[in-house]
Structure 1
Amino acid sequence: MLKDLTNEELVRLNIDAKNWQEAIRKSADALLQNGKITHAYIDAIIKAVQETGPYIVITKYVALPHARPEAGAIESAIGIATLKDPVAFGNKENDPVKYLFCLSAADNNSHLNALAELMDLLERKDFYELLDCAEKPSEIIDFIKNL
């Protein structure tokens, strides 16, 4: 479940980022600092986007940075980040990105239910409103726990 893969320590609000690479690095930093991924995992995300395009931009304003488990995922987790100012990732339909949900998947299956819950959240206007006005990570985590 989503509430099992995220916590207040994995939330970053109003990040300053000049470009999509910096947005990925800063949003993934929460996972790195909490032992969920390695530096190599972040590099793998950026390399994949450079090679295959902005496939991680999954809907309007939302990116789901992730890489293969073997690229440096230590433990399954989802980081939640909002950007102070949206940045372009090169996805004409869904740019600019303001919300990043950085996924660390330790295997190919254990995170799928959490992703399904996240997709449901991304259809809720009240979730985006919360992301825009939250002042503390606990506000977002409490919302997720009370679903």
Structure 2
Amino acid sequence: MSIMKLIGDNGIVISHETNLSVDAALDITCSKLIEQGKVEPSYLAAIKAKHKEIGAYYVLAPKIAMPHARPEDGVNEQALQITIFKNGVNLESEDNGDVYFSVTLAAMDSDSHIQTIMALAELFQNDEDVDAIIAADNEAAIAEILNKY
């Protein structure tokens, strides 16, 4: 399944907020998924709880995060939400600095999202596309790049 199919028509958020707390940033990264009923609020709570327990486990590389929890924590439908933090956000990752590009992953089980992870890994390795997504001014420009994956 393509990345854009999992994002849907209303799954890209561009945030211009500054000085966000970790909790406020995570609220934004799950906002559309919760709003659309793709995940329950308990899913966001599980991400926050795991962060408090072990830190920013979901910050994958400089600029990039992939917040996620277990399917049983409240996933109703396999989905992705893309969040761009135009001013960056400190998610307390000692090794990777501020996050600008977040992909919230909601998977129904351990296996069904393997192809999605492979497509995202390909995207994350393409610095040019990652930087273009972060620099994009609107959702359509972001979707155009994501349609390649």
Give your verdict on TM over 0.5.
Answer: yes
- Superposition CA RMSD, Å: 1.5
TM-score for the superposition, normalised by structure 1 = 0.91
In structure 1, the partner of 2:88 is: 86
4-13 or 60-69: bigger deviation: 4-13
Q: Distance in 1 between matches of 2:53 and 2:104?
A: 19
Q: 1:141 aligns with which of 128, 140, 143?
A: 143
Number of aligned positions between the proteins: 147
TM-score for the superposition, normalised by structure 2 = 0.90
* Percent of matched pairs sharing the same residue: 25
Q: CA deviation at 1:128?
A: 2.0
CA contact (8 A) 2:101 2:134 kept: no
Q: Which runs of 5 or more residues in structure 2 are unaligned?
A: none
In structure 2, the partner of 1:24 is: 26
Pick closer, same or farther for the CA change 1:7–1:134 going to 2, 3 Å. farther
The aligned amino acid for 1:13 is: I
Q: Distance in 2 between matches of 1:82 and 1:39?
A: 21
Q: Which runs of 5 or more residues in structure 1 are unaligned?
A: none
95-104 or 131-140: bigger deviation: 131-140
Deviations 1:45-101 (A, max 9, x none): 000110111111111111111110011001111110011321222211112111111
